[in-house]
Each structure stands twice: as structure tokens, then as C-alpha cells.
Amino acid sequence: MLSEIDGVRVAVVGCAHGGFDEIYTLLKARAEEKGWETIDLVIIGGDFQALRNANDAACISVPAKWKSMGDFYKYYGGEAVAPYLTIFCGGNHEASNYMYELYYGGWAAPNIYYLGAANIVRFGPLRISAMSGIWKGYDFRKPHFERLPYNADDLHSVYHIRELDVRKLLQVRTQVDIGLSHDWPRGIEYSGDHRELFRKKRGFREDSEHGRLGNAAARDVLDRLRPAYWFSAHLHVKFAAALAHDGTTLAKIPFPADQPAVWAVEAQAPVVSPKAASKTMVSSSVKSPSPPPNTTSNTGPAPMVSNKVLRASGTAQEKLQAWNDFAQGGAQEFERQERRVMEQEWMETIRRQDERRAGSKDQPSEGNVGQPTLGQNQDEIDLDSSSESDKSGSGNPSPTKAPRLDISASDGSNNNETAAEGPLVDRAVTEGLRSKLPASFARPAASAESTQKKLETADITNKLTRFLALDKPHNRDDFLHLVKINPIKSTDAHASPETFRLEYDKEWLAITRVFANDLVLGDATAQVPANKGEEYYRARILEEEEWVEKHIVDEWRMQVPYNFQPSAPNFDPDVPLTTTEQPMEYTNSQTTEFCKLLDIPNKFDLTESEREARMNAGPRASGAGHGGRGRGGGRGGSRRGGARRGPGRGPSRGMGRGGARCGDFNASW
């Protein structure tokens, strides 16, 4: 029984970077150290690098001098088999053409399952959500316009998260146990020891304070799904946090010594202060960050409010130090709150003005809904871990230190669009005044979703999310972590780990059917269909759940079939890794079968003549850079890696902060 093993034995891995032989060898040793007979499930947080052959390497966003074949090709070709069931999300260093084939998810190799652009699957008693890619605001509302053959820009945008995929996750109304994303949910650093994080990672403090650290969409999904655990990678540092939801109080509890100390808490009843009850100063779509928990007390369980431990006893010196810490922390917190209130008032003023203007029209046209209204912020600093030529900014960030801002208000643009293309703004807030404000004050895009009714999610009850980000191989911090995980809602349906199988999720299959026709591929001029709102989608999802129940559940087809079939040739050592020849697009049989299962169109299946026509036409023309910034020169060169600043702030400063943000490429990138 599950209770007898005290949870599903899960191994979490940060960035893989193609080193699977080493990963599985180390996992076996770690499991033996813990006394585990086996590992039930391995979860990898992206930068997986599923290179099947050298031509796949032409479709990965990595500087040529750092490209490596890795050893995934052995698992793909059958020379090796993963010893444990492995699932993974995509990052920003992937064989993007292969991940594209498996958009809905599928076996990348025997016993290795890619979770697709967005997904929810079940493994035994656990329900697992995932989202692939990284955050770039200027591409967020675009369709998946990249399709083979890729041009240089496509290689650096194909892995950017898209709103349609996130919209699907935001329709989920039932509890999940584990969340997975490549880059961190925005603001999560303030639910852990952010001071130590900022000490270890140069530049993170500034990035965090200016809303440039983390993924706004991932934070929206985290706040919606509230899983018990959320795992990430990307920033090449180990970091743990404990995030309370709905103003919940946390209390310290005994916890296994081999788990992060910040996880040693449990959720208590929510605390509502009289002030909070009588005064609402902030929009419900913007939440203040929680300061980090203090885990230094040794006096046993102590009450925690806003993640701060209230010291119950100690020596005079400890009390004096505690008072000094309290005074200093209080001053910093006051300053933070003052700034937050100012931001929120400005944001609310801007929102009201824009909504009033937009409301004078019957309904935004589908072609204009959700389109950005401002050009790319020229003072913005890039911080993703993409290759040295992916240096554009990350879109207009969320307000300073805000753990979450509704993503409809944080979208940026890579086009120099005029103000006339967006909603009109009251003269009291001029464009000149806006330009002098921090990026967090940028006007939100006009969107139908900003006025959509938000429905209650009574079935999502969890109040505490334990977060963990891990490093990459051959770097400073751990890139592996083993933990036993129990479902939030106990169930007796799964008797033992030996019977656990990867299964589809009924609600997610219904959501997939609802959104299947909205998917647009390979068209850079297309518009993503407008968000119709939760109320509309909820009714449609309930209808589709009935269809799924009848055609899939009742027919015992919920298990993910073991239907891996190679779609591309195996690795040929005679083809150099430096080749720039991209492969033709392949139709993956798993995607074909999945679309048949759900009775949805397979938009990934081109005829041979269509494939040949695309290859003969060649890549579409590359743009002149993002938002007029270009991709070179730039502010930062490789600041995270220790290089000096670039040559100034001109129109080609697009190199961004750090180039190789997540550690240097010469350290196994």
C-alpha cells in the first residue's frame, strides 16, 4: 500500500543538458544511500536536449562552440534504456524540432516521456502539471508561428511560452499535487532565503527588485493550481521555498533532515487582521511577496505569520539580536509596502482609464484582443539563460517584487507599435509620464480577459506549496534531489508502486478538446483567438468531460500507451555536429494517435509535398531584431559570467544582462 512506503519515491533533476548516463548512475547511488529499493519516478526540469542526430543539433539554441551530442541518442536508438520512468518539461536549450513533434506530450525515448507544451498527467496517486519553455513577454500572445525550417530568430523564440498554452492550465479547477516549469515562478524567491540567493548569484537582487526575475505565467499557474510541490531549474542554483496561499499562517513542524529546512512548516488557519478586513487597497490580481521564513529557531514548533517565525524564547543576546533583526526587517518591509501601494494605485488608475475607454466599444475585435500596446522597454535588461544570441528583453515585467501580476497586464512587445494601436489613455497619464516610470507601470494590454468573471475553484484546497529549484551537472550546487511525495487527497485506488502507470487526466483531455481548434501553427501573421473567459470555457469543458468519459474512460483507454516509434534517423557519427542542415519535419505517430484518441485535428501532420515545399522555400526572412533593439552589442556581454558591460545603451543593446545567464556556457552550459 502507498501508506506502507510513505509516499511515491520521486527523484527531481534540474537541467539535464544531455548527460543521462551520469544522471541515472548518480540517481541509483543516491537511492541506495537513502535505502530505497528503486525510484518510482524521475522528474527533469528542462534543458533536456533530446538530440537524436546531428541534424537535430541545428535546431537547438546553443552557440556552435558549446554544442555537444550528449548521450540521449543512445536511449532513442535502443542502445540504452532509462532504468526509471522519466518525465520532463522543455526548457530553452532543446531540440526544438523534436519537441514540436510531441506538442501534446509523448515518449521521447522508451521510458522517457516529454510532457509537451503544457500538460497534466497522472502517475499512481499523483497528479502532475507541467509547462515548457521560458517567459518572454513580447512573444507571449503570439501563436506558435515557428515551423521548420527555422530562421535565426525562430531558434530563439520557439521555446517562449505562449498564452494559449497557459490559458489551458488556468482553466483547471481540481487539485494537482506537483507543478513543473523550467524557469521559476515570478517572486518565489521571497518565500525562501532570498538574501542567501542574492549573495550566491550576482545580479539576482537587482533583477528581482525590478521584476525581471522569473516567469509571470508560471506564477499565474502556481497561484491557480496551488500544488503541494513545484519544481524548476533554469537558473543553475539550488533554492528552496515554502509559499503559503490565501494568507495562510505557517507553523514549524518536524521534518526529515535530508529535506530543505524551509520546507519544515505546515499550513494553519488563515490569519485576517482587522485592518485587512476593513481596508482593501490593492487589486486582487496583484499579491505582495512573502518575506523568507526564518528557520534558525531551535525551540520547537513556533507560530509563523507571513512566513516569519515568532521567537518564543532565547538568551538576552538572542532577544537583542531578534529585536534588531525585527527593526531592520520592519523598516525594509515598510519601504517595500509603501512602494507597492504607490505602484498599485498607479496600476489601478491606468487600468480604470483603459477599461473605461475600452468599454466604450462593444467588444474588442478578435484581431486586436490581447495585443501589446507599447514597444519593447528600451531600459529593460534580459535575464534568461538562452544562448549568446538570444539577448532580447523579457517583455514588460510585473511590478517590483510582486510575486504575481495577472499576465494580461504584463505583456510586452517586440514591435515598435504606436499608441494608437492600443486603448486610449486619459490625458492625465501621458505617454511622457509613463516613460519616466519604472517598467512595472507599463500600461496593460487591452484584453477581454481583464474583465472576465473569475470562477471559484472550491476543489483546489491546498494552502502550502513547497518549491525547489536545482542546478545543472558539474556546477556548484546539487542538481539531484530525492523526496517521497503523497497526494494531497488520499486515495486507495493505487495499491503499490509496482502498479503505477503514466495515465491521462480526464479534465485535461477535456480542456485539450476545447482548445484544439484554437491552435495556430507556422503563421507569423495569425492572431490567437480571443480569451472567451472562464465562464464560457467551464461550460465547454464540462461538455467535453462527458465526451471523454464516454469515449475514453469507459473504454479503458486512460493509460498512456507504450507506443514509442522513432520518427527521425538514429545518430550517424559521420555527420558532423557542426552541420547547419536542418531536418525535414516529421509526423510523429504518437501525436497522430493522440489526436485520433481525442477526435481532434492533427495540425502537425503535413503531406510530403507540403514538407518539401516548405524546405524548398527556406526559412522565412528574419526580423530586424526585437523592438528595434537587435540582438547584439548590448548591455552586459556576459555579466553573470563575469564579463564587462557591453558598449552602451544604443539601439542594438539587445545582448541583455548576462548572455549566458544560468552559468557560463564554458561550464557545461
**How far is 463 from 632, CA to CA, in rounded Å?**
44
11: three-class secondary structure by DSSP = strand
Say which range, 34-43, 92-101, 264-273, 391-400, has the weakest mean pLDDT: 391-400
Tell me the pLDDT tens digit for each residue of 242-255.
999 999 999 999 99
240 pLDDT exceeds 80? yes
pLDDT for position 655: 34
Mean pLDDT of 10-33: 98
The grid cell for 460 is: 483546489
pLDDT at residue 475 is higher than 70: yes
Cα–Cα nearest to 183, from 481, 467, 396, 438: 467
pLDDT at position 332, please?
54
Q: Which of 36-40, 287-291, 301-305 has the lowest mean pLDDT?
A: 301-305
Q: Are strands 229-232 and 464-469 parallel, antiparallel or unpaired?
A: parallel
Among 177, 145, 566, 633, residue whose Cα is nearest residue 382: 633
Report the percent of the chain where pLDDT is more than 70: 64
Q: Is 171 helix (H, G, I), strand (E, B) or coil?
A: coil
The average pLDDT across 542-546 equals 99
552 has pLDDT over 80: yes
Provide the 10 A C-beta neighbour count for residue 503: 14
Contact 69, 571 (CB under 8 A): yes
Residue 369, pLDDT > 50, answer no
By mean pLDDT, which of 222-236, 298-312, 566-580 is the weakest? 298-312
Q: Rounded CA gap, 125 and 128, in Å?
A: 10
C-alpha cell at 165: 498554452
Instruction: Please check the confidence at residue 189 and state whether its pLDDT lies above 70.
Output: yes
Tens-digit pLDDT profile for residues 259-292? 999 999 999 976 555 554 444 333 333 344 444 4
Structure confidence at residue 496 (pLDDT): 78
Q: What is the pLDDT of residue 623?
A: 72
Output the average pLDDT for the chain.
77
- Report how far apart the first and last C-alpha atoms of the chain are (Å, whole number): 42
User: What pLDDT is attached to residue 495?
Assistant: 60
244: exposed, middle or buried (C-beta count within 10 Å: 0-12, 13-18, 19+)? buried
Pairing of strands 308-309, 265-270: unpaired
Whole-angstrom distance, CA of residue 128 vs CA of residue 585: 29
pLDDT at res. 94: 98
Q: Is the pLDDT of residue 41 over 70?
A: yes
pLDDT of residue 59: 98
600-624 burial, b for 16+ CB within 10 Å, e for fewer? bebbbebeeeeeeebeeeebbeebe
pLDDT at 401: 41
Residue 624, all three cell numbers: 530586424
**Residue (of 49, 47, 29) closest to 39 by Cα position:** 29
Residues 6+ positions from 310 with CB-CB distance below 8 Å: 302, 303, 304
- List beta partners, residue 123: 126, 502
Q: Grid coordinates representing 376?
A: 519593447
The length of the chain is: 669
Residue 506: which residues within 8 A CB-CB, separation 6 or more?
Answer: 545, 548, 549, 552, 553, 558
**Whether pLDDT at 564 is above 90:** yes
The rounded percent of the chain whose pLDDT value lies above 90 is 61
Query: Does residue 191 register a pLDDT over 50?
Result: yes
CB 98 within 8 A of CB 62: no
Reference 531, options 157, 226, 141; nearest CA is 141
Higher pLDDT, 300 or 456: 456
Task: Provide CB contacts within 8 A for 30, sequence distance 6+.
Answer: 11, 480, 482
Which of the pair, 421 or 492, is modelled with greater confidence? Answer: 492
Q: In a 3-state reduction of DSSP, which class is residue 515?
A: helix
Q: Please tell me the distance from the alpha carbon of residue 573 to that of residue 261, in angstroms, as a whole number.
A: 47
Cell of 590: 504518437
Residue 316 pLDDT grade (very low, low, confident, very high; cuts 50, 70, 90): low
Q: Which of 226, 230, 273 lies closest to 249, judged by CA? A: 273
Q: Please compute the mean of the pLDDT values over residues 413-417 and round it to a whole number.
A: 36
* Cell numbers placing 387: 544562448
Q: What is the pLDDT of residue 493?
A: 56
Q: What per-residue confidence (pLDDT) applies to 386?
A: 41
- Residue with the larger pLDDT of the pair 655 and 148: 148
Give the confidence band of 231 by pLDDT, cuts at 50, 70, 90: very high
Instruction: Label residue 404 by pLDDT band (50, 70, 90).
Output: very low
Question: Phi and psi (nearest 5°) for 333?
Answer: -65, -40
CB proximity list for 196: less than 8 A, separation 6 or greater: none
pTM (global) more than 0.95: no
Most confident of 219-228, 385-394, 445-454: 219-228
pLDDT tier, 546 (very low <50, low <70, confident <90, very high otherwise)? very high
Statement: residue 657 has pLDDT above 50: no
Bridge-based pairing state of the strands 8-13 and 480-485: antiparallel
Q: What's the confidence (pLDDT) of residue 117?
A: 99
- Report the pLDDT averaged over residues 539-565: 98
Amino acid at position 79, single letter = E
364 falls in which pLDDT band (50, 70, 90)?
Answer: very low
| Each residue's pLDDT tens digit, 570-608 | 999 999 999 999 999 999 999 999 999 999 999 999 999
- Inform me whether the pLDDT recorded for 567 exceeds 90: yes
Sheet holding 265-270, edge to edge: 265-270, 248-252, 303-305, 308-309
User: Is the predicted pLDDT of residue 341 greater than 80, yes or no?
Assistant: no
pLDDT bracket for residue 315 (50, 70, 90): low
C-alpha 581: how far from chain center:
30
Least confident range of 178-192, 445-459, 572-586:
445-459
Q: How many CB atoms lie within 10 A of CB 85?
A: 17
Query: What are the start-end ranges of the H helices in 516-639?
Result: 534-548, 589-598, 608-617
Categorize the per-residue pLDDT at 458 as very low, low, confident or very high, splitting at 50, 70 and 90.
Answer: confident
Residue among 189, 297, 191 at smallest CA distance from 253 = 297
